[in-house]
Amino acid sequence: MDTSTDGSAEQPAVAAAPPESLSPSRAGDFMQCPLLYRFRVIDKLPEKPSEAATRGTLVHAVLERLFDAPAVERTAPRAKSLIPGQWDRLRETRPEVAELFADDPEGERLARWLGEAEQLVERWFSLEDPTRLEPAERELFVEAVLDSGLKLRGIIDRVDVAPTGEVRIVDYKTGKAPRPEYAEGALFQMKFYALVVWRLKRVVPRRLQLVYLGSGDVVTYDPVPADLERVERKLLALWEAIRLATETGDWRPRPTKLCGWCDHQAVCPEFGGTPPPYPLPVRGPDGVVVAGAGSVPRQTRPLPVQVTDEDTAEGPAGGPGEV
């Protein structure tokens, strides 16, 4: 899961810097809309918390903490009882989420929202049996540097290791499973993680498993080295496109139906806005700086590399903000 600043006046300014690594979320941002990637990674523009994303964070925390209990105590009532405490903890660590229910003085909308989180947690028990699981890792931060120098990083929800040593990577999704034509795109994040694990441990995970709590579906995929090699080539092409956009300052918007959920419409040219001055130096084709930080690069060139193959989904399953 990614973190971001809340944009408050008390936060110290973070100097802009070229991106140094790639995560599944940021890769997805660039494929969805290069300008969105710029706003999040280069400009670090603040974004308002959403009910869907915050609910996903809450459910993830509950499922992670449930495994602290002995196997026999990992029951649905026990899991649901963790929700209030994890919600309090989330508000302490991310005070901005309290804004979600600032206009709910009677607490009716909050109660309904917490009830939806309970339903998602309870549905998980119809999909997996936590009394029979002993995860090797939970919320595991992974990072690997490819031979090309590209640094990949991310956080895996759960890693299971069989007695025979076979590895299963599990990811919880609080949205609904995607339509069949987008099933391949939904696995992109999992293949990203499998590639990182393969490069770190020299072991190809036996299974990738997506658990969709919103619809009650479990999607599995068993990768082979050829799959992960293809993902690596895709990521290298993607990183080259990001590198060129970073140097030229040419970040194009890519309008889709997901624009309706974007926090940055006010500064997006597609909605009549003007992006903030580009905070990094702009370089010409020969690598020479042609404009300093604070310039407004002209967007007259096509994106240097298009990465829109079958691994690209239409967006997060279940709608923007679902985790």
Per-residue pLDDT of the chain (323 residues; tens, 9 = 90+): 443 333 333 344 567 899 999 999 999 999 999 999 999 999 999 999 999 999 999 999 999 999 999 999 999 999 999 999 999 999 999 999 989 999 998 999 999 999 999 999 999 999 999 999 999 999 999 999 999 999 999 999 999 999 999 999 999 999 999 988 888 878 999 999 999 999 999 999 999 999 999 999 999 999 999 999 999 999 999 999 999 999 999 999 999 999 999 999 999 999 999 999 999 999 777 666 665 555 555 554 444 444 444 444 334 333 444 56
State how far the Cα of 4 lies from the Cα of 47, in Å rounded to an integer. Answer: 8
Which amino acid, one-letter code, is at 263? D
Closest Cα partner for 70 from 59, 82, 60, 78? 78
Note the Cα 83 to chain centre separation in Å.
22
Closest Cα partner for 33 from 252, 188, 285? 252
Helices (H), the chain: 24-32, 34-37, 51-66, 76-81, 83-93, 108-127, 183-186, 188-201, 225-248
What's residue 186's pLDDT?
80
Model pTM score: 0.85
* Cβ-contact 42, 30 below 8 angstroms: no
